[in-house]
């Protein structure tokens, strides 16, 4: 007896499989371009803000001045956390991983959401805006509490990026630093059907709401092959510590057939366009904030990995040294990725709901068939 064949088994990891249609972002892996809703990421990184980019992704077009003002006001109005979410963060046992706390607290915001249970497109959009506003506060609140500091109240005068840095450190960042962070958020906001976005769409396709789908997406993002790579990159830089030690360190890892975090990509066959911006900001901020070493080590690693493996670095590589010189704790790099990607996830969830069909593929069965059932008492000890 053999299993009836379904369709041809695609490449492992669904490589190259087009699983849905989407008008949100386009990754041109050959040319090394990333497009959000028709706009090149290079233009958005130069001219846009994270708030404007989030509007573009979630609503589908660039806002007018008054629309952007209104959108920013909605975000500011939703930044504070309710008591239930605060309790969830406070109850996290000492030493909890930030992504576990973020995922759990994000999920808990549904309890007090005024639109809970209403999955109309309007309510889903309102819930998405609230999630976008609350995630930075959750991350910063968690960090303040675990460091024995009092959580701060969000400042309405600051942009989402500057406010996050303020909530984390207690200091309003310099404009140049806030702008670099804002650009990093723009660059991470969406990336087509990456693992976490696909997860979000699969959950959304069951007609689950935005809270459930974003919570699941956060779980997918936390893995080291996806959003966890930026933390691993920084651990590597810290271990190497000196530019002159980089070459040997990398050669040893490659000889042992280990992967170098922050390199390689499923889609890009050339330079990741986001890495270009992050490399430049890592260099500039490293110099400005008096820590050029991490950029220098990164450059050396990049040179060796290209020479030895022909691999380009990805978005996670230079974001590590950039965040480090900004004073952001290493284990918050993935939560920061999530904070930006909420915009993309929500855009995809809204798009999925707008023309939904349950996502339910098949598996090619490779196990046995026709086995005779043996009762437990005849199976030996
Ligand atoms: C991103 C990533 C998961 C893509 O994976 P993928 O498309 O499944 O590619 P594979 O892991 O099959 O790699 C293909 C080949 O390149 C090599 N390779 C890929 N990334 C590598 C890396 N970072 N370091 C060393 N070699 C790497 C693999 O060893 C493999 O070589 P082989 O064919 O000789 O076995 C993978 O490149 C990776 O693990 N990178 C490190 C983690 C990371 O930076 N993730 C963030 C992604 S934005």
Per-residue model confidence as pLDDT tens digits over 313-366: 999 999 999 999 999 999 999 999 999 999 999 999 999 999 999 999 999 999
Name the residue with the closest Cα to ligand 1, atom 41. Answer: 261
Q: Is the pLDDT of residue 133 over 60?
A: yes
Q: Which atom of ligand 1 is nearest to the CA of 254?
A: 25
Q: Is residue 21 part of a domain?
A: no
CATH of the domain at 316: 1.10.230.10
Residue 69 CA: distances (Å) to CA of 20, 52, 54, 110, 302? 33, 10, 13, 25, 41
Whether 86 and 194 map to the same domain: the answer is yes
Q: Is residue 206 part of a domain?
A: yes
Question: What does residue 178 show for φ and ψ, rounded to 5 degrees?
Answer: -60, -40
Q: Which domain holds residue 136?
A: 35-225+333-354
pLDDT of residue 10: 75
Whether 274 and 314 map to the same domain: the answer is yes
Q: To test ligand 1's pocket by mutation, which of 250, 260, 264 has the most ligand atoms within 8 angstroms of CB?
A: 264
pLDDT of residue 225: 85
CB 152 near ligand 1, within 6 Å: no
pLDDT of residue 4: 58
pLDDT of residue 16: 87
pLDDT of residue 1: 58
Q: Where are the alpha helices (DSSP H) in the chain?
A: 41-47, 50-59, 65-77, 83-90, 98-108, 121-146, 160-169, 175-188, 195-204, 210-221, 229-240, 243-255, 273-288, 293-309, 315-325, 333-354
Q: Is residue 249 part of a domain?
A: yes
Whether 80 and 162 map to the same domain: the answer is yes
Q: Is residue 3 part of a domain?
A: no
Q: Is the pLDDT of residue 59 over 70?
A: yes
Whether 216 and 233 map to the same domain: the answer is no
Whether 219 and 133 map to the same domain: the answer is yes
Tell how far the Cα of 66 is from the centroid of ligand 1, in angstroms. 44
Please confirm, yes or no, whether 353 is among the known catalytic residues. Answer: no
Q: Is the pLDDT of residue 7 over 90?
A: no
Please confirm, yes or no, whether 191 is among the known catalytic residues. Answer: no
Largest CA distance in the chain: 76
Q: How many domains does the chain have?
A: 2
Per-residue model confidence as pLDDT tens digits over 156-191: 999 999 999 999 999 999 999 999 999 999 999 999
Average pLDDT over residues 15-33: 95
Q: Which atom of ligand 1 is nearest to the CA of 314?
A: 48
Tell how far the Cα of 9 is from the centroid of ligand 1, in angstroms. 22
Q: Is the pLDDT of residue 5 over 60?
A: no
Instruction: Give the model's confidence band at 135: pLDDT under 50 very low, under 70 low, under 90 confident, else very high.
Output: very high
Q: Which atom of ligand 1 is nearest to the CA of 233?
A: 44
Instruction: Give the model's confidence band at 2: pLDDT under 50 very low, under 70 low, under 90 confident, else very high.
Output: low
CB 253 near ligand 1, within 6 Å: no
Residue 66 buriedness (CB in 10 A; 0-12 / 13-18 / 19+): exposed
Can you give the pTM of this predicted structure? 0.94
Whether 182 and 299 map to the same domain: the answer is no
pLDDT of residue 117: 93
Q: Considering the chain, what is the average pLDDT of its residues?
A: 96
Locate tokens 């059907």: which residue?
193
Q: Is residue 96 part of a domain?
A: yes
Per-residue model confidence as pLDDT tens digits over 361-375: 999 999 999 999 999
Residue 181 CA: distances (Å) to CA of 16, 142, 143, 175, 221? 32, 20, 18, 10, 20
39-51 burial code (b ≥16 CB/10 A, e <16): bebeebbeebbbb
CB 262 near ligand 1, within 6 Å: yes
Q: Give the DSSP letter of residue 36.
A: E
**What does the alpha-carbon distance between residue 304 and residue 98 come to, in Å, rounded to a whole number?**
32
HSE, side-chain direction, 13 A CA sphere, residue 373: 2
Q: Is residue 145 part of a domain?
A: yes
Per-residue model confidence as pLDDT tens digits over 109-124: 999 999 999 999 999 9
Average pLDDT over residues 140-150: 97
Tell how far the Cα of 264 is from the centroid of ligand 1, in angstroms. 5
Q: Is residue 315 part of a domain?
A: yes
Whether 187 and 127 map to the same domain: the answer is yes
Q: Are 54 and 343 in contact (CB under 8 A)?
A: yes
Whether 204 and 296 map to the same domain: the answer is no
Whether 210 and 291 map to the same domain: the answer is no
Tell how far the Cα of 374 is from the centroid of ligand 1, in angstroms. 44
Per-residue model confidence as pLDDT tens digits over 247-265: 999 999 999 999 999 999 9
Instruction: Give the model's confidence band at 228: pLDDT under 50 very low, under 70 low, under 90 confident, else very high.
Output: confident
Whether 47 and 131 map to the same domain: the answer is yes
Q: Which atom of ligand 1 is nearest to the CA of 266?
A: 7
Instruction: Give the model's confidence band at 11: pLDDT under 50 very low, under 70 low, under 90 confident, else very high.
Output: confident
CATH of the domain at 196: 1.10.580.10
Whether 173 and 262 map to the same domain: the answer is no
Q: Is residue 46 part of a domain?
A: yes
Instruction: Give the model's confidence band at 6: pLDDT under 50 very low, under 70 low, under 90 confident, else very high.
Output: low
Q: Is the pLDDT of residue 84 over 60?
A: yes
Instruction: Give the model's confidence band at 298: pLDDT under 50 very low, under 70 low, under 90 confident, else very high.
Output: very high
CB 316 near ligand 1, within 6 Å: yes
> CA dihedral defined by 271, 225, 256, 303, rounded to 10 degrees?
20
| Residue percentage of the chain with pLDDT more than 90 | 93
Whether 276 and 142 map to the same domain: the answer is no
């Amino acid at each position: 007896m053999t299993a009836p064949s379904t369709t041809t088994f695609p490449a492992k990891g669904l490589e190259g499989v087009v699983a849905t249609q989407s008008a949100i972002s386009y990754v041109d892996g050959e040319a090394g371009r990333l497009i959000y809703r028709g706009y090149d990421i290079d233009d958005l990184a130069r001219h846009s803000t994270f708030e404007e980019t989030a509007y573009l992704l979630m609503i589908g077009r660039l806002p007018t001045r008054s629309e952007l003002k209104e959108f920013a006001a909605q975000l500011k109005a939703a930044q504070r956390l309710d008591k239930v979410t605060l309790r969830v963060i406070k109850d996290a046992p000492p030493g909890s991983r930030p992504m576990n706390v973020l995922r759990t607290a994000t999920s808990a915001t549904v309890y007090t959401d005024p639109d809970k249970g209403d999955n109309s497109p309007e309510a889903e959009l309102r819930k998405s805006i609230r999630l976008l506003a609350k995630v930075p506060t959750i991350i910063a609140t968690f960090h303040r509490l675990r460091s024995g500091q009092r959580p701060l109240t969000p400042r309405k005068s600051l942009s989402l990026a500057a406010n996050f840095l303020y909530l984390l450190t207690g200091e309003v960042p310099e404009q140049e630093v806030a702008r670099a962070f804002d650009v990093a958020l723009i660059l991470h906001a969406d990336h087509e059907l990456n693992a976490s976005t696909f997860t979000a769409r699969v959950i959304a396709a069951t007609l689950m709401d935005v809270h459930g789908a974003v919570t699941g997406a956060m779980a997918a993002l936390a893995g080291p092959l996806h959003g966890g790579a930026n933390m691993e990159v920084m651990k590597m830089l810290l271990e190497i510590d000196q530019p002159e030690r980089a070459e040997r360190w990398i050669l040893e890892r490659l000889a042992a057939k280990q992967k170098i975090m922050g390199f390689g990509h499923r889609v890009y066959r050339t330079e990741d366009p986001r890495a270009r911006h992050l490399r430049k900001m890592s260099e500039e901020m490293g110099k400005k904030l008096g820590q050029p070493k991490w950029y220098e080590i990164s450059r050396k690693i990049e040179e060796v990995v290209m020479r030895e493996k022909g691999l380009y670095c990805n978005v996670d590589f230079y974001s590590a040294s950039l965040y480090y010189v900004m004073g952001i704790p290493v284990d918050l790099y993935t939560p920061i990725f999530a904070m930006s990607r909420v915009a993309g996830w929500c855009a995809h969830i809204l798009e999925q709901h707008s023309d939904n069909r349950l996502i339910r593929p098949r598996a090619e069965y490779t196990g046995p068939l026709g086995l005779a059932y043996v009762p437990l008492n005849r199976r030996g000890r």
